[in-house]
Structures are given as C-alpha cells and as structure tokens.
Amino acid sequence: MINTETETAVTVSKKYFDVNKIREDFPILRKKVHNKNLVYLDNAATTQKPEFVINKINEYYTTMNSNIHRGVHALSQTATEAYERARIQIKQFINALGKNQIIFTRGTTEAINLVASSYGRANIKEGDEIIISHMEHHSNIVPWQLLCKEKNAKLRIIPINDNGELIFKEFEKLVNEKTKFISVVYVSNSLGTINPVKRIINYAHQFNIPVLLDGAQAVNHLKVDVQDLDCDFLAFSGHKIYGPTGIGALYGKVELLDAMPPYMGGGDMISKVTFEETTYNELPHKFEAGTPDIAGAIGLGAAIEYVSNIGIENIIEHETSLLEYSTKQVSEIPGLKIIGDAKEKAGVLSFVLENIHPHDIGTLLDFEGVAIRTGHHCTQPLMQRFNIPATSRASFAMYNTKEEIDVLVNGLKKTIKVFG
C-alpha cells in the first residue's frame, strides 16, 4: 500500500501576485500571432499551461513511464505514487474528506455522463423529474436528456432573468415529489454568472434530492469547498485550470458512489472476475476501468499545485479587476451589448455588436493577435433564451492584463470601422 497522503506540495512561488512574473511561466504567451503579440482571451474554452505542468508531464514520460497499480517493479511503483498523489492534490484542493471520493475522468463531460449513466440508470424511474437550468452547457443537458428518454422521465428547466441569473423562486416551484435529481452549472461559461448553488443544495436537501455541480468554470475562478457546499457530486476538467486536456475529475459523496454500479467494465475496476460473476474494486478504482491518462493526472496535480501556490484568492482578485475594467471599457463602445449582467459574475465577458456577426468580430480580432471565442459556446438553449445566434466572448485567466483588454477594445473599435 502506497502512502502518499503525507507528502507535502512543492512550493512553486510565494503567495505574491505578480502578473508579469506569472506570464513568464507560460511559454505560449511569448508567441506571435499574425506578427502581433498573442492576446489570449479564450480561457473559458481552455487555459494555457505553465512550464511547471509541461515539465511534470515530460518528467513522467522521461523518468517513470509504466502502467500503474499492477506492477511490482520500481517504475510502476513510482508512477502509481505520482498518479495517486495527484488524486490527493485534488482532494485537498476541493476539500473532499477522502481521496477515494475523487475519480479521474476525461473531464467534466465524462464525469457528468458517469453520474447520469450509473446513478441515473439505477435510480431514475418512469415519471421522475430531473432539474437543470436554462444556462447549462450541452454537457449538462444531453446526458440527462438521454437518461430521460431511456427512462421516460422528464427534464425540467430553471428559467433565468434578462441579466442571466437563475430565478430562485421558479426553481423552488419546480421542485416536487417527482424531483429525483438536480444538476446545475456553478459558473456559466457563456455568461460568467455565478449561481447560488449553496442555496440550491440547501433547498434540495430538505427533500433529499442529490445535486451535481458542473464545476468546469468554477474551480479555476472560485474557492470551491465541497464540504462547505455539501454538493453530492462535482465535475470539472483539468484543461480549464491550467492542466492538460483529456483529464478531469468527479467528486462524489461516498455513500452515493458506493451504491452506484460501475460505469465501464475492464481492468483495474475489478476485485475478482470469473465467467459467472465479477466483483468490483473499492472506490475510486471501481469507476476507473482501463489504463488511465497517467501523465494527464500528474499534469493536473501539478496544475493544482501551481494554482494553490499562486493562491486562488489572488487569482480571484486579479480576475475580478479584469472583469470590472473590461466591462467598463466595452460598455463605452456604441452598439455593443453585454450578454449576462449578473450581480455575481466570474471572468467571462460575452457581448454582441449591432449588425456585426460574432464570427466576423473573431476573425478581425485574430488579425490583431487577439483570441476570443465566438459562437453559441455549447449553450444553444441559452442563445435561444436571449434570441441571438451567438456571442463574442472574452474570458480571463490569471495571466491576462489590462493592457491586453486595451488591445481587445481597440480591436473592437477597428472592427466597427471596417464594417462601417
């Protein structure tokens, strides 16, 4: 049995926030795009990776590559230790009680599908209702829709107001004796709205309804404490928090995870296999069939270590100032309308410009070296709610600066000139 619980995190930097120093940690930020300095404002899609993370992945492949959990040889032991250490880093980061509550997945999407398939298939019956909100990412709509189709259950939607906030009173009205599950986004990727998830969870728990939080945009912008929130499940992706793509995690309460059937069958998730019957491994391995993304998990652990050492509070403060500054700057642009004006908001700025399609905005900004996202952001029902096909979205990370926002704003002004 490997005991990695006692290992302490390596210190990357002091808890002192210096954006220029942080930028030096991200090699890609030195890149030129169309001969301009890269201004990367597409962080809600994916964040850039610090050298610390890149080096940890490199170190894994150059010094310890081997399969985990099954080998008695030295490399396998080292790789297992590093992989399990990443699990502990996640556990500490979100303040879970035990490391067996952290299941590695490919990301948020797989984590939600795991719960919908495993918990959902076992517990949702004909006539039951599942509540989501109008601002969900497709990853938190389609898995529930598939389940509802299979079980003849019903999906109920929490409406939102024109500012892009959930209407809590309407949520309360939706909850009834048929409600068997609630799955909501913590921070909206399209609007930046921070939802009152603690209030939702408190309310749901009065009726013993479990709540899953889509934390894809939360863990990188907020201090997420699963014990304090008392959420039943939390899903997130590594690549949105400066880690690699293809890795993420599902947190779940032990009693729920224990009672859930496996999601996938294969190696590592079993205790004993015969042709007649198979017994399953203990948590979390029951849900980790097959060889996982070992390097990815180690990379995610490193990303969490990096973020922890910068200090999530420092990151929040910096991103809040960027959001305030950018909101003020773009508000002065004639014909620009911000989509999503919630009181509680994290580093996302979505907008539309009169008579200019977001794709044209994105293309012209690209010539200025500015990377933003344009489109429906995998939230088509939300676009329908605002009666728009798409938005332009700038989203911020710890390495962005006010000077970069100025480049964005100047780029927008140029775009308006071009389109007359």
Q: The tokens of 190 are what? A: 């399209």
CA dihedral 386, 389, 392, 398 (to 10 degrees): 70
Q: Does 109 bind ligand PMP (CB under 6 A)?
A: yes
Contacts of residue 121, Cβ cutoff 8 Å, sequence gap at least 6: 147, 150, 151, 261
Terminal CA-CA length for the chain: 68
Task: Determine the interface stretch with ligand PMP among 1-9, 209-217, 286-294, 363-371 (rule: CB under 6 A).
Answer: 209-217
In angstroms, what is the minimal distance from the CB of 239 to ligand PMP?
A: 6
Number of other residues whose CB lies within 10 A of the CB of residue 202 = 13
Give strand ranges (E) for 54-206.
102-105, 129-133, 154-158, 179-185
Within positions 371 to 410, which residues make up the interface with ligand PMP, using CB under 6 A?
Answer: 378
Place of tokens 């728990």: 205
Task: Determine the interface stretch with ligand PMP among 102-110, 152-160, 250-258, 408-416 (rule: CB under 6 A).
Answer: 102-110
**Residue nearer to ligand PMP on the CB measure, 137 or 285:** 137
**Residue nearer to ligand PMP on the CB measure, 210 or 248:** 248
Give the helix/strand (H/E) hosting 353: strand 348-353
H-only helix segments in 311-401? 312-331, 358-367, 380-385
Q: What does each C-alpha distance from 66 to 82, 215, 265 come to in angstroms? A: 11, 31, 22
In angstroms, what is the minimal distance from the CB of 233 to ligand PMP?
A: 13
Q: Does 57 bind ligand PMP (CB under 6 A)?
A: no
Place of tokens 């942080």: 22
What is the three-class DSSP state of 3?
coil
Q: What does each C-alpha distance from 44 to 73, 113, 150, 162, 192 come to in angstroms? A: 41, 21, 32, 22, 9
Per-residue binding string, ligand PMP, 151-190, x by CB under 6 A, is: ----------------------------------x---x-
In angstroms, what is the minimal distance from the CB of 319 to ligand PMP?
A: 15
Any catalytic annotation for residue 148? Answer: no
Choose which of 49, 56, 137, 345 interacts with ligand PMP (CB under 6 A).
137
Per-residue binding string, ligand PMP, 335-374, x by CB under 6 A, is: ----------------------------------------
Task: Determine the interface stretch with ligand PMP among 12-20, 70-78, 103-111, 409-417 (rule: CB under 6 A).
Answer: 103-111
Q: The tokens of 144 are what? A: 């529930």
Residue type (1 letter), 351: F
In angstroms, what is the minimal distance from the CB of 136 to ligand PMP?
A: 8
Per-residue binding string, ligand PMP, 231-270, x by CB under 6 A, is: ------x---------------------------------
Number of other residues whose CB lies within 10 A of the CB of residue 286 = 22
Strand partners, 353: 336, 356
| Helix axes of 358-367 and 402-418: crossing angle, nearest 10 degrees | 120
In angstroms, what is the minimal distance from the CB of 34 to ligand PMP?
A: 25
Choose which of 42, 128, 129, 214 interacts with ligand PMP (CB under 6 A).
214
H-only helix segments in 194-236? 197-205, 226-229
Q: The tokens of 125 are what? A: 């019956």
Residue type (1 letter), 18: D
Q: Does 216 bind ligand PMP (CB under 6 A)?
A: yes
In angstroms, what is the minimal distance from the CB of 110 to ligand PMP?
A: 7
**CB-CB contact of 320 with 343 (8 Å):** no
Choose which of 41, 85, 94, 107 interacts with ligand PMP (CB under 6 A).
107
| Catalytic residue (one of 12, 142, 316, 378) | 378
Per-residue binding string, ligand PMP, 27-46, x by CB under 6 A, is: -----------------x--
Choose which of 101, 113, 139, 193 interacts with ligand PMP (CB under 6 A).
139
Q: Does 108 bind ligand PMP (CB under 6 A)?
A: yes
Task: Determine the interface stretch with ligand PMP among 21-29, 77-85, 107-115, 224-232 (rule: CB under 6 A).
Answer: 107-115
Choose which of 47, 183, 195, 217 interacts with ligand PMP (CB under 6 A).
217
54: left (phi over 0), alpha (psi -120 to 50) or beta: alpha
Residues with a known catalytic role = 378
Give contact residues for ligand PMP (rule: CB under 6 A).
44, 107-109, 137, 139-140, 185, 189, 214, 216-217, 237, 378
